[in-house]
Amino acid sequence: MGSGFWLLLISLVLILLNTLVVMPQKEQQTGLELAQKIFNLFVFLCVFSSGVTGLWAIVMERERSWVLFIALLSLVLAIGLNVGSLVNG
């Protein structure tokens, strides 16, 4: 298992942590918006690096692992959600 798998695993754990811990704390306490934005940026960077690594392995190394396709799908989803939120305001 290469670096794409570990980046994907870290990304999924961070997304789960964000959903179960960080977001409920932000709703209960005020003043955590900056911490939420920094955490979201860190999660996006992990997803982005996982997807780029997966894309590199699929295109250049001719790998066909399901983990790489999930990493690539998560990259497309993350970019789509970010572009959608920028377009809609």
Residue 1 pLDDT grade (very low, low, confident, very high; cuts 50, 70, 90): low
Q: Which two tokens stand for residue 72?
A: 């690539």
Decide: 11 and 43 in contact? Cβ < 8 Å: yes
d(CA 71, CA 54): 6
Render 10-55 in DSSP notation, one character per residue.
HHHHHHHHIIIIIHHHHHHSTT-HHHHHHHHHHHHHHHHHHHHHHH
What is the tens place of the pLDDT at every residue in 26-60? 777 777 788 788 888 988 999 999 999 989 988 99
What is the tens place of the pLDDT at every residue in 52-77? 998 998 899 898 888 888 989 999 99
